[in-house]
Amino acid sequence: MYIKTKGLVLRENVYKESSRILTVLTSTEGKITLSARGAKRKNSKLAASAQLLAYSDMTIFCERGRYILTEARSIELFEGLRDDVERLSLGAYFGELLETLSDEDMPNPEVLSLGLNALYALSGGERDPELVKAAFELRLMCLSGYEPYVERCSRCGGENPQEPVFDLVGGVLTCKGCYTPGSGKPVLLSPGTLEAMRYIISTDVKRLYSFKLGESSKKQLSEVCQEYLKTQLGTGFKTLDFYESLIKFKG
């Protein structure tokens, strides 16, 4: 049986010298693993579409649960990422997150579209990569059933806590006075960070990356979104470690 779909390559693994095994997020089949035979051969028609983070129209042959890429025509290759190791490594992290939070054989068009928007924002070069990263992480968590509650204090119901505390474990906001120490991981948020989190959670996806923040709030937002994701998912990410080592090196 042949399937026609659109797919974004989240990961590529070498398989025999000239072939690739690809993890692809498709619009109709969810996340699938497919083989792209001879994709690295000279003149292969699959070469462009078999790259990490390529988005393409794909024709896939499917038999007994195995998928083979037979034809592909690239729609968007995110060229802006390919000559910038920092942006490319951040894109690879987005790919790993999408892989972690997507289900096999279950389409989730919202997650695919969020991923594509993030890659466009990163590849375009006009958006601050740190903000794109934070907004993508937090919004992806919302779509995956981990939406934090930051509308008001979860104890007293106050809408604008003077000293807002966000608990990375419980995923809820409280006033500093309402917070009871326990097994949580509290962070005292700046007003700018709280406002940015509320914006990211509730705005239209098309405007997700259209906000600005002062340096200190930007740094905090970046830490909070990343730590919230890692705390909730209980795992780290190899691609994130690599990206962080690049940033550190840049200093």
Binding site for Zn ion (CB under 5 A): 153, 155-156, 158, 175, 178
Count CA atoms closer than 13 A to 132's CA, side-chain side.
22
The most distant pair of C-alpha atoms in the chain lies apart, rounded to whole Å, by 66
Q: What is the closest distance, in whole angstroms, from the C-beta atom of residue 173 to Zn ion in the complex?
A: 9
Nearer to Zn ion by C-beta: 17 or 159? 159
154, 174 contact by CB (below 8 A): yes
State whether the Cα torsion 15-17-19-20 is positive or negative.
positive
CA–CA dist 44, 52 (Å, integer): 16
Which residue pairs from 171-175 have beta carbons closer than 8 angstroms and sit at least 24 positions apart in sequence?
Answer: 171/146, 171/147, 171/228, 171/232, 172/148, 173/148, 173/149
Nearer to Zn ion by C-beta: 180 or 183? 180
Q: What is the closest distance, in whole angstroms, from the C-beta atom of residue 159 to Zn ion in the complex?
A: 10
Nearer to Zn ion by C-beta: 158 or 170? 158
Indicate the burial class of 207 (C-beta count within 10 angstroms; 0-12, 13-18, 19 or more): exposed
DSSP string for residues in 125-175:
S-S-HHHHHHHHHHHHHHHTT---B-SS-TTT--SS-SSEEEETTTTEEEE
Nearer to Zn ion by C-beta: 169 or 246? 169
Give me the residue label for tokens 């505390």. Answer: 165
Nearer to Zn ion by C-beta: 155 or 230? 155
Q: What is the closest distance, in whole angstroms, from the C-beta atom of residue 31 to Zn ion in the complex?
A: 40
Q: What is the closest distance, in whole angstroms, from the C-beta atom of residue 213 to Zn ion in the complex?
A: 25
Q: What is the closest distance, in whole angstroms, from the C-beta atom of residue 160 to Zn ion in the complex?
A: 10
Nearer to Zn ion by C-beta: 80 or 158? 158
Q: What is the closest distance, in whole angstroms, from the C-beta atom of residue 161 to Zn ion in the complex?
A: 6
